[in-house]
Amino acid sequence: MNTDSGDSRRSRRWTSVPFKHPATFDTMALESVLKNKVKADLESFVKAKQYYHRLGRVWKRSYLLYGPSGTGKSSFVAAMANFLGYDVYDIDLSKVREDSDLKMLLLQTTTKSVVMIEDLDRFLTEKSTTVSLSGILNFMDGLLNPCCAEERIMVVTMNNKEQIDPAILRPGRIDVHIHFPVCDFSAFKNLASSYLGLKDHKLFPQVEEVFNSNPSLSPAEIGELMIANRSSPSRALKTVINALQSDVGRRLSENLARKSTEECDDRSDIFCREGGQTMKELRKLVGLIRMKSCRNPHSFDLASSPQRKEG
């Protein structure tokens, strides 16, 4: 892990601990085809020194892991390192004071290592003044790389890559893009096998049915439910089903609310200005009418007329 480059130990930018992360490709809740492809790609890279040099390219391989939080990106990096027997250099950009410090960090890494930058999209969105986009690009493929990036795996993680400058994502800087989705039924079965020792269960069809409703829970969220109820696999599955159903209900409510707002935006401004703010004004108007109706028994009572249901 990199230390704050502004401290008194400027010559020592890294501090280390033994790497003992237990993640392996076997424990990852991802499709077997994807895991096998990544393992084959890593094995091919390790043997490709002469091939890269013949092409005039730096002997490194770069990966982008992107997807929502809790989908296993960090654990996947650990699995890569364990598979290769490489060290891991975890760069915290918030502790880097300037572009030159980022280059020095790379110079002090060793061969047979995974160099990782997590949540790069968040860092770029915050528009930090410490490390520039140019500094990050030079870090990824600058002139120093042939001297200090040989036999390295470089990994960048993001939640969302859609708003990232395409210059970062182009081939040569990022070789392989891997999407980490929310949990589906296939990933759920892997989790059930790892966490609960279940290959099958009578509740699996019900779980699959709920997954078909397109819930958006992450593998980490489902894994925590299984850990908390690991003494009773049946209870664990029921808890997962309830959580998935709650997630479907929550997302349905959000969709209805968003649809209501969108429909409101399409109507006249007199009813819908400021994203539904006038709905509150209408409710106030109803209150005023009710107050007047109490003073005048012959007034029209809006509350007693049929009301339209709100979505």
Q: Which helix (H) or strand (E) holds 116?
A: strand 113-117
Task: Read off the pTM.
Answer: 0.76
pLDDT, tens digit, for every residue of 100-113? 888 889 888 999 99
Instruction: Pick the closest to residue 195 from 46, 27, 22, 53 (CA basis).
Output: 27
Please give the full DSSP string across 3-48, using - where no structure is assigned: PPTTSS-TT--B----------GGGS-S-HHHHHHHHHHHHHHHT-
Count of CA atoms in the C-beta half-sphere (13 A) of 169: 16
Kindly calculate the radius of gyration of the chain based on its CA atoms and give it in whole angstroms: 27
Nearest-CA neighbor of 211 among 236, 228, 186, 233?
Answer: 186
DSSP-assigned letters across all residues of 213-273: T-----HHHHHHHHHHTTT-HHHHHHHHHHHHHHHHHHHHHHHHHHHHHHHHHHS-HHHHH
Q: Tell me, what DSSP letter sits at residue 309?
A: P
Domain residue spans of the chain: 32-179, 182-258
Give the list of residues 6+ apart from residue 83 with CB closer than 8 angstroms, or none. 24, 25, 39, 42
User: Is 130 within 8 Å of 93 (Cβ atoms)?
Assistant: yes
Phi, psi of 176 (to 5 degrees): -130, 130
Angle of CA points 181, 244, 191, to nearest 5°: 55
**In which residue ranges of the chain is pLDDT below 70?**
5-12, 128-129, 142-148, 249, 251-311
Q: What phi and psi values does residue 218 have, to the nearest 5 degrees?
A: -85, 160
List the structure tokens of 110: 């060793």
Q: What is the pLDDT of residue 40?
A: 97
Question: Which pLDDT tens digit goes with each residue over 130-153?
Answer: 888 888 888 887 655 666 678 999
Q: Which CATH superfamily includes the segment(s) 32-179?
A: P-loop containing nucleotide triphosphate hydrolases (3.40.50.300)
Question: Residue 289: its pLDDT value, please?
Answer: 41
pLDDT for 7 equals: 54
Distance separating alpha carbons of residues 43 and 196, to the nearest angstrom: 31
